[in-house]
Amino acid sequence: MKNRLRWIALSCIAALCAATAITFFFHFHASAQQKTKGKDMSDIRLMTLDPGHFHAALVQKEALQGVSPHVHVYAPLGFDLLEHLKRIAGYNTRRENPTRWELEVHTGEDPLARMLRERPGNVVVIAGRNQGKIDRIKTCVENGLNALVDKPWTEETVRAAMAELDRDYTPLTDMRASAAYRRTVTRNLLQRLYLETSARDVATRVLEPVR
């Protein structure tokens, strides 16, 4: 009788252990799936660099699918930074469709250098004064970051982009055209796009008959 009771007790303990192990397994598996899914949905991590214009906050006006709500801001402590924080706070506290952005602010004299050193995100938002903006964009791109910018559509911007084509664009040379020719055509197309969209009275599509 005692042996039988001991056997029943051991069976109950074994069953309880098995049930606990199974419960733990499914709980762990579900948690891992949720973490993985959350990571996939937040593969874009924003960093805002020295926001000197309201355009820097517009990208956060609505919640964005696939974008992490945790955003790092690198800027000197001053009026521009405070205004940017007020705009984001306004999005978070409005009555209709409030956002839930979480900002981590890093202040200092050289925000670009600190951002590149820490790199908590993979997309940098650059919107502000035009002085030095092209250099900042170029530095971020050269360091492997994606840049979301509000650079104005000006002749200076277009010429800078045309110069970068020679470094970043490497076309093939074949029997139809050389690489140099293809680079020239690409630069000319970019320049034509600028001329046609800048409201200038420039004829770019005039065809003259060959005599």
Report the pLDDT value the prediction gives residue 19, as an integer from 0 to 100: 43
Residue 115 lies in a domain: yes
C-alpha distances out from residue 120 to 69, 114, 124, 206, Å:
13, 10, 10, 51
How many separate domains does the chain show? 2
Residue 178, SS3 per DSSP:
coil
Do both 108 and 174 map to the same domain? no
Cα gap 19→15, rounded to integer Å: 6
Do both 144 and 162 map to the same domain? no
Report the pLDDT value the prediction gives residue 40, as an integer from 0 to 100: 42
Residue 34 lies in a domain: no
Alpha helix positions (H), 42-178: 55-58, 79-93, 111-118, 133-142, 155-168
Do both 143 and 57 map to the same domain? yes
Residue 2 lies in a domain: no
User: Greater confidence, 157 or 85?
Assistant: 85
User: Greater confidence, 37 or 112?
Assistant: 112
Residue 137 lies in a domain: yes
The tens digit of pLDDT for each residue in 124-169 reads 999 887 778 878 888 998 899 999 987 667 788 788 888 877 777 7
Q: How far does CA 203 lie from the centroid of its chain?
A: 38
Do both 141 and 166 map to the same domain? no
Report the pLDDT value the prediction gives residue 117, as an integer from 0 to 100: 96
Residue 37 lies in a domain: no
Do both 139 and 178 map to the same domain? no
Do both 183 and 88 map to the same domain? no
Where does the pLDDT of residue 105 fall: very low under 50, low under 70, confident under 90, or very high at 90 and above? very high
User: Greater confidence, 177 or 161?
Assistant: 177
pLDDT greater than 70 at residue 83: yes
Domain that includes residue 176, residue range: 156-197
C-alpha distances out from residue 123 to 25, 140, 172, Å:
36, 9, 30
Do both 72 and 147 map to the same domain? yes
What's 101's domain CATH number? 3.40.50.720
Residue 30 lies in a domain: no
Residue 22 lies in a domain: no
Produce one character per residue of 73-98: b if its CB has 16 or more CB atoms within 10 Å, e if not: bbbeeeebbeebbebbeebeeeeeee
Share of the chain above pLDDT 90, in %: 41
Nearest in space to 72 (alpha carbons), one of 88, 48, 53: 48
The tens digit of pLDDT for each residue in 14-49 reads 444 444 443 333 333 444 444 434 444 468 999 999
